[in-house]
């Protein structure tokens, strides 16, 4: 009966996936229910914005700088074949604001902040700190997870904006400094062609969605982790993998919805 066996196996895996999805949504509802009480304790949020957002600044700015510089190099090569070097500014800015800013920031965020969140929550569970809070009549989801969730949601668009900004500067540095593109053209083309709604707002929406999904995945994986060192390590890996897949998949969907007409 190998066929029946494998069918049953398939069914079990499917059920497992749906069960996890269900638990994930229940947790999300629980996290969101904690937003009200959080309003009276802004300190909790500020601490988390520091550890989730501010501490991610270094990797975000450095990566933004290099991505901008590479974009300028590659873009210049292609554009110069059509004699359109002057459009380098718009090319760099559009690529960053629409696409690379939100996506690369989200991927870096998952690796830097998401994995840290999962490990932290998972270890708090493994060392019974979450149980301890429960027995102190403190809801660990509202007290521990909600501030982290909101911090991720707030930090992601800001980080993506900083990424894009630094990227534009990096492109400027390479394009004008090394490749001799006209500085006036670089800025004025960018100013003229980048649209507030079409480009900037859509980019912000993307990074809000990514922030939501990445933080949610990270918190769920930590909260749902098997409370052992191995369980936490596997949960951390899952956070990075699932976040990356979710971001890239959602990016396609969002881009198709926003820009594909």
Q: Does 40 bind other proteins (CB under 8 A)?
A: no
Q: Between residue 66 and residue 85, which ones bind other proteins under the rule CB under 8 A? A: none
Q: Does 26 bind other proteins (CB under 8 A)?
A: no
User: From CA 48, how far away is CA 129, in angstroms rounded?
Assistant: 18
Number of amino acids touching other proteins (CB under 8 A): 13
User: From CA 162, how far away is CA 158, in angstroms rounded?
Assistant: 6
Burial class (CB in 10 A: 0-12, 13-18, 19+), 253: exposed
Q: Residue with structure tokens 């700190």?
A: 129
Question: Who contacts 48 (Cβ-Cβ below 8 Å, separation ≥6)?
Answer: 147, 148, 150, 151
Considering beta carbons, is residue 128 or 195 the nearer one to other proteins? Answer: 128
Q: Does 17 bind other proteins (CB under 8 A)?
A: no
User: Rounded to the nearest whole angstrom, what is the least distance from the CB of residue 231 to other proteins in the complex?
Assistant: 16
Considering beta carbons, is residue 47 or 245 the nearer one to other proteins? Answer: 47
Q: Between residue 138 and residue 177, which ones bind other proteins under the rule CB under 8 A? A: 138-139
User: What is the DSSP secondary structure assignment for residue 227, as one 8-state letter?
Assistant: S
User: From CA 186, how far away is CA 191, in angstroms rounded?
Assistant: 9
Q: Does 131 bind other proteins (CB under 8 A)?
A: yes
Q: Does 127 bind other proteins (CB under 8 A)?
A: yes
User: Rounded to the nearest whole angstrom, what is the least distance from the CB of residue 30 to other proteins in the complex?
Assistant: 10
């Amino acid at each position: 009966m190998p066929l029946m066996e494998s069918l049953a196996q398939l069914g079990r895996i499917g059920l497992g996936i749906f069960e996890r999805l269900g638990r994930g949504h229940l947790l999300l509802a629980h996290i969101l229910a904690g937003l009200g009480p959080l309003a009276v304790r802004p300190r909790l949020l500020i601490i988390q914005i520091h550890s989730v957002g501010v501490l991610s600044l270094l990797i975000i700015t450095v990566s933004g700088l290099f991505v901008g510089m590479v974009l300028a190099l590659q873009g210049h090569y292609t554009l110069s074949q059509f004699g359109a070097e002057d459009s380098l500014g718009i090319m760099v800015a559009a690529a960053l604001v629409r696409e690379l800013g939100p996506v690369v920031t989200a991927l870096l965020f998952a690796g830097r902040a998401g994995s840290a969140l999962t490990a932290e929550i998972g270890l708090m569970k493994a060392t019974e700190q979450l149980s301890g809070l429960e027995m102190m009549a403190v809801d660990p989801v509202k007290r521990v997870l909600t501030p982290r969730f909101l911090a991720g949601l707030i930090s992601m668009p800001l980080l993506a904006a900083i990424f894009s900004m630094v990227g534009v500067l990096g492109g400027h540095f390479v394009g004008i400094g090394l490749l001799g593109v006209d500085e006036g053209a670089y800025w004025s083309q960018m100013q003229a062609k980048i649209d507030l709604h079409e480009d900037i707002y859509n980019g912000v929406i993307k990074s809000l969605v990514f922030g939501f999904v990445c933080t949610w995945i990270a918190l769920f994986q930590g909260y749902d982790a098997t409370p052992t060192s191995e369980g936490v390590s596997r949960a951390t890996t899952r956070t990075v993998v699932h976040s990356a897949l979710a971001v890239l998949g959602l990016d396609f969907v969002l881009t198709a919805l926003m820009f594909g007409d």
